[in-house]
Structure 1
Amino acid sequence: MSREGENTPFSLLLPVYGKDNPEHFKRAFTSSVNTQTVPPSEVVLVEDGQLPASLASAITDVVSSSKVPVRIVRISDRGGLANALTVGLDACSNDVVARMDADDISLPDRFERQLERMRAGLDMVGTGMFEFADDSSIVIGRRTPPIGSEAIAAYARFHDPFNHPTVMYRREAVLAAGGYEEIGLMEDYWLFARMIHSGARVDNIPDPLVMYRVGAGAYARRGGVKQFQAEWSLQRALRRSGFTSRLQFARNITVRGLYRFVPVAVRKTLYRSIIHRNFLDRTS
């Protein structure tokens, strides 16, 4: 990539809340700012609710060592991820915004490669991910997203086609689609579907450029009555918008809905098998 890409200003949007691990947060910040081949122009750090002293101290540490300006936005009462991202987007100085979670790790050339695709005219570009549990040197899985606008649109009728912690997008395109709206743990899927449906130019880089931390409760959070209700709301919204057909709605409610009620061990097995199968399908 030419050195011109380094002159494309972009903001890093990183929300934190009280249960985030301070050491994980510090590594997430450092990997996304200080060790990037092309660092962000600014960091917008959203504090979603009151934070414990250990996390507040970690924020002080990273701000003091940051190579770029850090803007801290504080929300007094925790309002959830969709609200934090909405508030954070409003505070970003640049139209191009990169997402990052407080417990993941960006690989050094992540933003350089994404900016190259954004400069070619995309409104959003995601990447693949490596998954790890506690030790980032031990990869336990790999998520390879669909590539190309047609494949992404088709895939999105049943699955989220982007890995949310990896995306870089244009704020203008996000706002044109209506921005983030709270739907359980699926506010990203709903936003991306609306962006695709409204004609946003999107693609994925298949290579893993983010290391995604799989926490102990990850599979439990995907199940239960509350998540089924969120799934129902999402599928109704997708159908009402015209993004899915009646047949696709029925399939999604049946398959994705039942998935919310299987035992956690079964859910984990199903999820891992789907991830593994999709990886093989896209690399064969």
Structure 2
Amino acid sequence: MNRPANRVALLIPHYNNPQGLVASLGSIGEAETVDVIVVDDGSTRARIDEAACRAAFRARGGVVFLYLPQNRGIEHALNTGLQHIVDAGYAFAARLDCDDLAMPDRFARQLAFLDAHPDVALLGSAVTFFDASGDRFTVQQPQTHEAIVLQMHDDNAFTHPAVMFRTSAVREIGLYPTDCRAAEDFAYFWRFVARYRTANLAEVLTKSEYNDAGISMSKRRVQQAARLKLLWRHFDWTPRSALKMAKALTSLILPLAAARTIKRLIGRKNWS
């Protein structure tokens, strides 16, 4: 098998958001050596403008478009793209969502860290969330593997659009699980954490769009139910784990407005 010239492939799922896709591709720095795999999940209302995408993409690499015949959900789009990346022989897979923005040297910085730490299989970073009014807040995820393990018993210790991981690990643990709708990343990253060393960089390397139409908001109860299932799956019978289960159950039961009010009162940004 002929390996690709670039070692990193960026996976971007797309569904009816061609303008967001162009913005994401345009954010990638000119000096980055990365190919992009775009998987369209059966868009019908707003199709991809391939010419606009190629014009926006200025990095040292190419853009490949894969089209699913019908909308099946992000898990299936991700797995289609990830299987393509593994089969093509890329050493690393990275993630970004439509409308999200990569810092100009994001992939070079993550690649340098992974090359310097061959024991780390999954790497994320801090992320700034933004909306039409500008930057809203920054999420600093735990940086060490030990802190990440503790965080995973509470909530996802990685922001999905900011990660890069080794395809050698994918060959061992498989593709994204499809039994945790709207929380496929949390479920998948548990597999990494349970088997490999992981890390997060302190620097903000991705800006992620924050809006009520996103999966985390529009499918909140589905996501919370999946999160609760995952916490139970990895329950370690400690008081801390029991407390986190109780918090997740409360978050599932409460209306979104009430959960947000509690978050403001206790000052915790990670209350979902």
Tell me if TM exceeds 0.5. yes
Counterpart in 1 of 2:187? 190
SS at match of 2:268: helix
1:24 aligns with 2:16: no
Q: Could you tell me whether the CA contact under 8 Å between 2:154 and 2:231 is conserved in 1? A: no
**Distance (Å, rounded) in 2 between the aligned partners of 1:108 and 1:270:** 37
Counterpart in 1 of 2:252? 260
Counterpart in 1 of 2:163? 167
CA gap of 1:91–1:212, structure 2 versus 1, over 3 A, is same
Cα deviation 1:17-66 (Å, max 9, x = unaligned): 13x2x32221111113xx253231x21110111343x4322x33112553
Instruction: Identify unmatched segments of 5+ residues in structure 1.
Output: 1-6, 278-284
**Distance (Å, rounded) in 1 between the aligned partners of 2:131 and 2:44:** 24
Counterpart in 2 of 1:134? 132
Instruction: Identify unmatched segments of 5+ residues in structure 2.
Output: none
1:71 aligns with 2:64: yes
1:216 aligns with 2:212: yes
Q: Give the aligned CA root-mean-square deviation in angstroms.
A: 2.4
SS at match of 2:233: helix
**Distance (Å, rounded) in 2 between the aligned partners of 1:211 and 1:254:** 31
Cα shift at 1:100: 0.7
**Distance (Å, rounded) in 1 between the aligned partners of 2:138 and 2:259:** 17
Cα deviation 1:73-113 (Å, max 9, x = unaligned): 11112221221111101111302111110121111121121
**Distance (Å, rounded) in 2 between the aligned partners of 1:9 and 1:266:** 45
1:61 aligns with 2:52: yes
Cα deviation 1:183-216 (Å, max 9, x = unaligned): 1221111111111111x12111011111111013
Query: What TM-score, normalized by structure 1, do the two folds share?
Result: 0.81
The aligned runs of 1:1-284 (5 Å cut-off) are: 9-18=7-16, 20=17, 22-32=18-28, 35-40=29-34, 42-52=35-45, 54-57=46-49, 59-67=50-58, 68-92=61-85, 93=88, 94-120=90-116, 121=118, 122-135=120-133, 138-182=134-178, 183-198=180-195, 200-218=196-214, 220-221=217-218, 223-224=220-221, 226-239=222-235, 244-245=236-237, 247=239, 250-271=242-263, 273-275=267-269
Q: Could you tell me whether the CA contact under 8 Å between 2:27 and 2:104 is conserved in 1? A: yes
Cα shift at 1:177: 2.4
SS at match of 1:139: strand
Cα shift at 1:8: 6.0
Q: Could you tell me whether the CA contact under 8 Å between 1:222 and 1:260 is conserved in 2? A: no
Cα shift at 1:249: 5.1
Count of residue correspondences: 256
| Equivalent residue letter for 1:274 | R
| Equivalent residue letter for 1:210 | T
| Equivalent residue letter for 1:201 | R
